[in-house]
A and B are shown apart, each in its own frame.
Chain A
């Protein structure tokens, strides 16, 4: 059971300081060789136990440097787990840590179960018998935390979206199985095209899911956060404050920003692509008009819209229009210039168009930035990483991603089997496999569900 190499993020995300990715197992060093290059050019597998090296983590596919890192090597049996252990320690925050984990998984490691390092340590005799009960507690408590998480996610968007694919696959599998197990009952045969269609639709949805999976997106390229508002409300000021540098030009002339400005920002471990845009208004100026058009277009591409309002001047038609047109988006509404006297209040905003927006009031000129940062993080956490996030959150998600990928592989196999004209029982291997992998995310027993559904859907038996 312990012949697989396991990997996990060993530090909680969101925490300041270093991030650690740990690998344990017979392939740990081999994997390290492929992604770590030390200053001296020595591969990790040539290092003795208990040694540390400084170097670069390089993605073997793109050959690009991911980050600089310290590599720790501990050799079996003199390591925590009793197996070969490799640790990558780096400063780059969640994104880097996640990238390293993904590379390790790609190179053949398997994601560690909760408490699995400790369990291996015990099984390999590195932890004393008297500590066995403590080990059980660790395994138990961590697993329970992850179960809780699973329940949370069950209600979450991922599960809902998997739900749709699952239903279609169930329909298909149930029909296939009914046809196979009740050959003498008159169940309509499956047409090849019909099956291919369902599988292809499932594949497409899985691909969409994998591509846009909030987590994957956040971690690979960052959330796209678009700052919008009418002219002169303080959009560029907000960008500058968040970046903590004078990136965009700020003047008291409305229409200062005429094009888009994009910057990447690491907000407490969450990468954001922050985009400042031209103020929205009718303009005679061609350049400005193009800028406004571009800004409006960006709304639809945004993961998050930060709508800035000026509390010191009366609301205008532009403010209302923006509110109405962005109401389907995740939004933070920033009421700026709180250092000046307020000339309107919240009740003046059309409540119907406010939706679930987080509303904060600040002064970008002299106030603290925390309310805005917290509002953004809140939204991100809700949709992506849970509040009170721990290493578990992201691990569970990496597990989900792996499960989705396996399901996809199975469906591809089923499709290939189908299109090469092979029979139903071979096609069903891939279909059932896909369902079972999706079932890993939701924690259900697929085989029994299929049988139940056969009886519920078909009038069979004599």
Chain B
């Protein structure tokens, strides 16, 4: 291997969803980037559901796309079915969820990686991280070679010293029959604090063995607005998903065999996510429920494998067969892969700053499940931020930090580095303070300017973005100016639309504020310009909920004031008089970037914040 092949600007370890975005971002920002994976056949693997999006997560995908990431585009290309969830629950929480062809997703992503300039996708098992004098310098591979780079991004997913449990059987292993990263885990344990988490997957079955007459069919929506700004509307022949339920017979089998479940026998010690409980946990924790939902999701266009969402379990193989056979439609089920629980090492995210670089080791970034999150979308979101910040670090530029008030990406990273996490972290809209603003429809408005400024969004895309914003603004203005009503003809139409008649004239915007009136219905009363669907829905939201959005904006401004009061990163909290001992400990650990972040740390009281305010003032004065 030549010298040139061994020196990089950035090395990304792991080509899962975090690694792919990180590698792409760094390479696209001009950094010579090595992206290392155990197996080139497992790039961008979706080891759990072949599905992306959903509440909170869909907004993350749109945000990654708005910043110039890849996930959205690949999803749109690999889509087999898609639905908008929560359509009747309000503008802020509508979310796209799509079923994907697992292999297609991987192939598409791999092709993008292979064709991106500056990016070098390589097979290689990293055994050791090389650190010298507090700086990362490279990685050592199993084949004996060493790769050098001043910046390394760890995106190792659930592979660190992972152990697979299938009931009482337990072996060192990784998803999809791969290998765990044992040496790397050991090397990291010496450098950083480690916690142990677990998660699980359900069995995969051959779809030909199902009795569809007993299953409920779940169709997708066609056509469908895709994830990426560049995709627009997707019109394909979609495949359905299927729904069935467990019953008392299923639950009886589970109860009888509980002692053999790795989760209950004590074999697993790691902390599992509450939002992704195994079927045995559901049966134990909710004994009154007589049935639990099971979604049957196809895994691809060219495979007959199906994913039994809702049936994640750590029960032994023979019990898995027995319990599946009690479920309507699955009486003759053929299991192709066993369900398993997996335990793995991850880092305590307290040891990262908001740029996702470790505080102790210069140049070492971590992204994805290694930081204690779960989910492809959460991983990709961290990946793109780590990739951008890695490049900026090398360029001597300050890292980007996305505020909580601007994006779910901001909420995600801030939660991780400020509060740590005691279970695998999943995004939920309930985690965001300013949910009305963090919508799917305006992700581009929120983040594309940043993507452009950073250099991941090109001129052409940016121009298209600006044109869309302009269209939205103009149409909103037009509706506010256009009068309507007062006459008999209009009232006749309003009656037909099932809304109250107008005694006197109002504006179109005012009419649209009525809950029962949609933007498209305004077309009955005036000529509507020919606008794309995404523009029309943004206009509708902006006009309909204007009052609420304005209030939210005011709340965001108040919130951001504290966020903009920065704290020095080298501040020695033990030297500040007046802080409580607990506050000193937590502040020293977290090293908050701003007063706002400090206030969110548990154990830091308003009185402690006052002390910090006063400290900042004394600093300002002694400098000025």
A residues bordering B, Cβ < 8 Å?
1, 113, 115, 119, 122-123, 125, 129, 132-133, 135-137, 139-140, 143-144, 147, 177, 179-186, 420-426, 428-429, 445, 447, 450-451, 454-455, 459-462
In the complex, the chain A residue whose C-beta lies closest to that of B286 is A459
Is the CB–CB distance between A180 and B515 below 8 Å? no
Q: Which of B54, B274, B515 contacts A422 (CB 8 A)?
A: B515
Residues from chain B with Cβ under 8 Å of A129 in the complex: 618, 621-622
Which of A422, A459, A462 is the most central at the interface, judged by chain B CB atoms within 10 Å of its CB?
Answer: A462
Given contacts A180-B89, A425-B435, A451-B428, contact A122 B548 (CB under 8 A): no
- Cross-chain pairs A/B with CB under 8 angstroms, 29 sampled: A1-B561, A119-B613, A129-B618, A139-B611, A140-B610, A143-B610, A177-B428, A177-B429, A180-B429, A181-B430, A182-B55, A183-B89, A184-B293, A422-B515, A424-B89, A425-B93, A425-B435, A425-B436, A428-B435, A429-B548, A445-B602, A447-B430, A450-B430, A454-B430, A459-B277, A459-B289, A461-B273, A462-B202, A462-B295
Q: Which of B56, B605, B617 contacts A122 (CB 8 A)?
A: B617
Is the CB–CB distance between B274 and A123 below 8 Å? no
Distance A90 CA – B431 CA, assembled complex (angstroms): 48
Residues from chain B with Cβ under 8 Å of A144 in the complex: 607
Is the CB–CB distance between B610 and A461 below 8 Å? no
Distance A425 CA – B434 CA, assembled complex (angstroms): 11
* With A139-B578, A140-B611, A459-B277 already in contact, 6 other A-B pairs whose C-beta atoms are closer than 8 Å: A113-B606, A180-B55, A183-B86, A423-B88, A447-B430, A454-B430
Distance A185 CA – B562 CA, assembled complex (angstroms): 37
Q: Which of B89, B578, B614 contacts A423 (CB 8 A)?
A: B89
Given contacts A139-B611, A180-B86, A426-B436, contact A455 B275 (CB under 8 A): yes
Residues from chain B with Cβ under 8 Å of A180 in the complex: 55, 86, 89-90, 93, 429-430
Given contacts A113-B606, A119-B613, A132-B618, contact A177 B430 (CB under 8 A): yes
B578 to chain A, nearest CB (A): 4
Distance A426 CA – B545 CA, assembled complex (angstroms): 9
Distance A450 CA – B432 CA, assembled complex (angstroms): 12
Is the CB–CB distance between A119 and B610 below 8 Å? yes
Which of A422, A451, A455, A461 is the most central at the interface, judged by chain B CB atoms within 10 Å of its CB?
Answer: A461
Q: Which of B289, B428, B578 contacts A137 (CB 8 A)?
A: B578
Residues from chain A with Cβ under 8 Å of B89 in the complex: 179-180, 183, 423-425
10 tightest A-B CB contacts, nearest first: A425-B90, A423-B90, A136-B578, A143-B607, A421-B515, A455-B274, A461-B275, A183-B85, A459-B286, A424-B89
Task: Give 1 or 0 for each of B222-255: 1 = CB within 8 Å of chain A CB.
Answer: 0000000000000000000000000000000000
Distance A103 CA – B415 CA, assembled complex (angstroms): 40
* Chain A CB within 8 A of B387 CB: no
Distance A274 CA – B90 CA, assembled complex (angstroms): 56
Residues from chain B with Cβ under 8 Å of A455 in the complex: 274-275
Given contacts A135-B614, A461-B276, contact A186 B561 (CB under 8 A): no
Residues from chain A with Cβ under 8 Å of B56 in the complex: 181
* Chain A CB within 8 A of B597 CB: no
Is the CB–CB distance between B430 and A420 below 8 Å? no
Q: Which of A133, A184, A422, A454 contacts B85 (CB 8 A)?
A: A184
Is the CB–CB distance between A143 and B561 below 8 Å? no
Is the CB–CB distance between A459 and B285 below 8 Å? yes
Q: Which of A113, A119, A186, A429 contacts B293 (CB 8 A)?
A: A186
Q: Which of A143, A177, A450, A461 contacts B605 (CB 8 A)?
A: A143
Q: Which of B85, B274, B613 contacts A461 (CB 8 A)?
A: B274
Is the CB–CB distance between B293 and A185 below 8 Å? yes
In the complex, the chain B residue whose C-beta lies closest to that of A142 is B607
* Chain A CB within 8 A of B309 CB: yes
User: Within residues 255 to 292 of chain B, which ones have a CB less than 8 A from any CB in chain A?
Assistant: 273-277, 282, 285-286, 289, 292
Q: Is the interface on chain B under 10, 10 to 19, 20 to 34, or 35 or more residues?
A: 35 or more
Distance A422 CA – B310 CA, assembled complex (angstroms): 32
Distance A66 CA – B412 CA, assembled complex (angstroms): 53
Residues from chain B with Cβ under 8 Å of A177 in the complex: 428-430
Is the CB–CB distance between A136 and B430 below 8 Å? no
Is the CB–CB distance between A461 and B618 below 8 Å? no
Residues from chain A with Cβ under 8 Å of B274 in the complex: 455, 461
Distance A1 CA – B594 CA, assembled complex (angstroms): 14
Residues from chain A with Cβ under 8 Å of B551 in the complex: 429
Distance A133 CA – B607 CA, assembled complex (angstroms): 14
User: Within residues 1 to 59 of chain B, which ones have a CB less than 8 A from any CB in chain A?
Assistant: 49, 54-56
Q: Which of A139, A186, A426 contacts B548 (CB 8 A)?
A: A426
* Chain A CB within 8 A of B322 CB: no
A353 to chain B, nearest CB (A): 46
Residues from chain A with Cβ under 8 Å of B621 in the complex: 125, 129
Residues from chain B with Cβ under 8 Å of A119 in the complex: 610, 613-614
User: Within residues 428 to 466 of chain B, which ones have a CB less than 8 A from any CB in chain A?
Assistant: 428-431, 433, 435-436
In the complex, the chain A residue whose C-beta lies closest to that of B309 is A462
User: Within residues 587 to 613 of chain B, which ones have a CB less than 8 A from any CB in chain A?
Assistant: 602, 605-607, 610-611, 613
Distance A87 CA – B54 CA, assembled complex (angstroms): 56
* Chain A CB within 8 A of B577 CB: yes
Is the CB–CB distance between A423 and B617 below 8 Å? no
Q: Which of A184, A429, A445 contacts B295 (CB 8 A)?
A: A184
Distance A454 CA – B275 CA, assembled complex (angstroms): 9
Given contacts A123-B617, A183-B55, A184-B54, contact A425 B91 (CB under 8 A): yes
Residues from chain A with Cβ under 8 Å of B470 in the complex: none
Distance A460 CA – B426 CA, assembled complex (angstroms): 13
* Chain A CB within 8 A of B572 CB: no
Which of A115, A129, A183 is the most central at the interface, judged by chain B CB atoms within 10 Å of its CB?
Answer: A183
Distance A143 CA – B606 CA, assembled complex (angstroms): 8
Distance A135 CA – B577 CA, assembled complex (angstroms): 11
* Chain A CB within 8 A of B60 CB: no
Residues from chain B with Cβ under 8 Å of A183 in the complex: 54-55, 85-86, 89, 95
Residues from chain B with Cβ under 8 Å of A426 in the complex: 90, 92, 436, 545, 548
In the complex, the chain B residue whose C-beta lies closest to that of A174 is B430
In the complex, the chain A residue whose C-beta lies closest to that of B551 is A429
A11 to chain B, nearest CB (A): 23
A362 to chain B, nearest CB (A): 46
Is the CB–CB distance between B92 and A136 below 8 Å? no
Distance A119 CA – B609 CA, assembled complex (angstroms): 12
Distance A125 CA – B621 CA, assembled complex (angstroms): 9
Is the CB–CB distance between B55 and A181 below 8 Å? yes
A444 to chain B, nearest CB (A): 12
Task: Give 1 or 0 for each of B180-198: 1 = CB within 8 Å of chain A CB.
Answer: 0000000000000000000
In the complex, the chain A residue whose C-beta lies closest to that of B435 is A425
Is the CB–CB distance between A136 and B515 below 8 Å? no
Is the CB–CB distance between B614 and A461 below 8 Å? no
Is the CB–CB distance between B428 and A181 below 8 Å? yes
Residues from chain A with Cβ under 8 Å of B54 in the complex: 183-184
Residues from chain B with Cβ under 8 Å of A115 in the complex: 610
Residues from chain A with Cβ under 8 Å of B436 in the complex: 425-426, 429
In the complex, the chain B residue whose C-beta lies closest to that of A450 is B430
Which of B274, B312, B562 is the most central at the interface, judged by chain A CB atoms within 10 Å of its CB?
Answer: B274
Is the CB–CB distance between A447 and B515 below 8 Å? no
In the complex, the chain A residue whose C-beta lies closest to that of B426 is A461
Residues from chain B with Cβ under 8 Å of A445 in the complex: 602
Is the CB–CB distance between A139 and B289 below 8 Å? no
Distance A274 CA – B475 CA, assembled complex (angstroms): 68
Task: Give 1 or 0 for each of B91-106: 1 = CB within 8 Å of chain A CB.
Answer: 1110101000000000
Residues from chain B with Cβ under 8 Å of A182 in the complex: 55
Distance A17 CA – B561 CA, assembled complex (angstroms): 41
Distance A402 CA – B436 CA, assembled complex (angstroms): 25
* Chain A CB within 8 A of B516 CB: yes
Residues from chain B with Cβ under 8 Å of A429 in the complex: 436, 548, 551-552
A186 to chain B, nearest CB (A): 6
Distance A123 CA – B614 CA, assembled complex (angstroms): 7
